[in-house]
């Protein structure tokens, strides 16, 4: 007999339509949504992270959207612990819960547990930060490509925090960062899970990304980023959608250059998200328009007592 509770995780690249799919599923199964989009956790970052709007938040109950501040120290381990408690509460009322997001590390933490990574000596981090200041991010990206090509292929290369964290582990242990992230022993969970991936023709997706960036600009992205200038060195803001606009505000790029770069970086980000999720063979892929097919698939899995575990 399968476990009575099931978490449906909706994953895929940015701008594919995960929010819309998750809301429709939450309404269909009369349940709640856990956001596993690490950029949408921050209350000060709304436009640049394409947070669900007021109408969408009203359509289904969401957890973790705008829950913390860019000034808070928050990591994937914190999220795993809090998400599991939240799921417990949802499962007291519902047999099904929805999780949605494009942050693969955060999705995996809830499904399989998160590996504690080795702590690197402070001087290693200080050395890397000094190099970042002197030589810039590309030099560190090159090091990561040499030391851990697997992680290089999937990490957000524009996020210095992620690049430095990986290099710290590579340098201090002599082993690739990615080797510590392959869950040796998956944690036992008291729920089943069903993985739904959304993907589409690349040209269609890229057009969606470009249109979304144009919409963000109309909605006041520059004003939002301007209001966060004091915190521009915080890790939360070293991300696509913010770093490009900071470069415009700091006088390094014209607005047109920043927007162009933002579109390009978002497309690259989407490509890396697809690479990450494609490695998980347990994901069943659908087109974002295939809501009925998704429901049929989920219901057949829910009715199937022998749930297959990936």
For 81-145, give the DSSP string.
Answer: HHHHHHHHHHHHH-SEEEEE-S-HHHHHHHHH--PPPPPPPHHHHHHHHHHHHHH-HHHHHHHHH
SS3 of residue 33 by DSSP:
strand
Query: Could you read off the pLDDT of 131-173 as tens digits, one per residue?
Result: 888 888 999 999 999 999 888 887 878 888 889 989 998 998 8
Q: Is 17 annotated as a binding residue?
A: yes
Q: Which residue has the higher pLDDT, 215 or 125?
A: 215
Q: In the block, which residue shows the tokens 């949802």?
A: 90
| Tokens matching residue 52 | 């669900």
d(CA 244, CA 255): 9
Other CB atoms closer than 10 Å to residue 92's CB: what's the count? 8
Q: What is the pLDDT of residue 3?
A: 66
Question: Which CATH number applies to 6-115+183-303: 3.40.50.2300, 3.90.550.10, 3.40.50.300, 3.30.930.10?
Answer: 3.40.50.300
Q: Is 279 annotated as a binding residue?
A: no
Q: Is 282 annotated as a binding residue?
A: no
Question: Is pLDDT at 82 greater than 60 in this prediction?
Answer: yes
Q: Is 19 annotated as a binding residue?
A: yes
Beta bridge partners of 195: 9, 283
Query: Could you read off the pLDDT of 12-49 as tens digits, one per residue?
Result: 999 999 999 999 999 999 999 999 999 999 999 999 99
For the chain, the straight-line distance linking the first and the last C-alpha, in angstroms and rounded, comes to 17
SS3 of residue 54 by DSSP:
helix
Question: Average pLDDT in the 60-86 region?
Answer: 94
- In CATH terms, the fold of domain 122-180 is Histone, subunit A (1.10.20)
Q: Is 16 annotated as a binding residue?
A: yes
Question: Average pLDDT in the 187-192 region?
Answer: 89
Q: What is the pLDDT of residue 153?
A: 82
CA torsion angle for 151, 153, 155, 156 (degrees, to 10)?
A: 160
Q: Is 266 annotated as a binding residue?
A: no
Q: Is 288 annotated as a binding residue?
A: no
Beta bridge partners of 7: 97, 193
Q: What is the pLDDT of residue 11?
A: 98
Q: What is the pLDDT of residue 307?
A: 47
Question: Is pLDDT at 76 greater than 50 in this prediction?
Answer: yes
Q: Is 136 annotated as a binding residue?
A: no
- Residue 248 contacts residue 255 (beta carbons within 8 Å): yes
Q: Which residues contact 103 (CB under 8 A, 6 or more apart)?
A: 36, 37, 38, 39
**Annotated domain spans of the chain:** 6-115+183-303, 122-180
Query: Could you read off the pLDDT of 276-291 as tens digits, one per residue?
Result: 999 999 999 999 999 9
Question: Is pLDDT at 308 greater than 50 in this prediction?
Answer: no
Question: Average pLDDT in the 1-7 region?
Answer: 75
Question: Is pLDDT at 185 greater than 70 in this prediction?
Answer: no
Question: Is pLDDT at 69 greater than 90 in this prediction?
Answer: yes
Query: Could you read off the pLDDT of 192-251 as tens digits, one per residue?
Result: 999 999 999 999 999 999 999 999 999 999 999 999 999 998 888 989 999 999 999 999
| In the chain, beta strands by DSSP E | 6-11, 33-35, 62-63, 96-100, 192-198, 283-286
Q: What is the pLDDT of residue 178?
A: 79
Q: Is residue 2 very low, low, confident or very high in pLDDT (cuts 50, 70, 90)?
A: very low
d(CA 189, CA 308): 14
């Amino acid at each position: 007999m399968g476990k009575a509770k099931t978490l449906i995780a909706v994953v895929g690249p940015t701008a594919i339509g995960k929010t819309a799919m998750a809301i429709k599923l939450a309404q269909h199964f009369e349940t709640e949504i856990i956001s596993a989009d690490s950029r949408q956790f921050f209350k000060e970052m709304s436009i640049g992270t394409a947070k669900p709007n007021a109408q969408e938040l009203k359509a289904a109950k969401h957890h973790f959207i705008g829950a913390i501040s860019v000034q808070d120290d928050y990591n994937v381990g914190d999220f795993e612990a809090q998400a599991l408690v939240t799921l417990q509460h949802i499962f007291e009322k519902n047999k099904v819960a929805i999780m949605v997001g494009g942050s693969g590390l955060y999705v995996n933490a809830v499904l399989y547990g998160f590996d504690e990574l080795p702590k690197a000596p402070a001087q290693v981090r200080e050395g890397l930060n000094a190099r970042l200041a002197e030589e810039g991010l590309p030099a560190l990206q090159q090091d990561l490509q040499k030391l851990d090509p697997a992680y290089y292929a999937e990490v957000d290369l524009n996020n210095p925090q992620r690049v430095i964290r990986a290099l710290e582990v590579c340098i201090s242990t002599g082993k690739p960062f990615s080797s510590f992230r392959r869950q040796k022993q998956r944690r036992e969970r008291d729920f089943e899970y069903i993985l739904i991936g959304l993907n589409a023709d690349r040209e269609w997706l890229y057009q969606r990304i470009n249109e979304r960036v144009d919409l963000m600009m109309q909605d006041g992205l520059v004003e939002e980023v301007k209001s966060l200038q004091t915190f521009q060195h915080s890790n939360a803001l070293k991300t696509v959608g913010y770093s490009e606009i900071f470069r415009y505000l700091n006088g390094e790029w014209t607005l047109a250059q920043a927007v162009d770069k933002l579109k390009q970086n978002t497309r690259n980000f989407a490509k890396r998200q697809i690479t990450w999720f494609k490695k998980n063979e347990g994901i069943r892929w659908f087109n974002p328009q295939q809501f009925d097919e998704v429901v049929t698939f989920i219901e057949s899995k829910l009715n199937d007592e022998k749930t297959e575990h990936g």
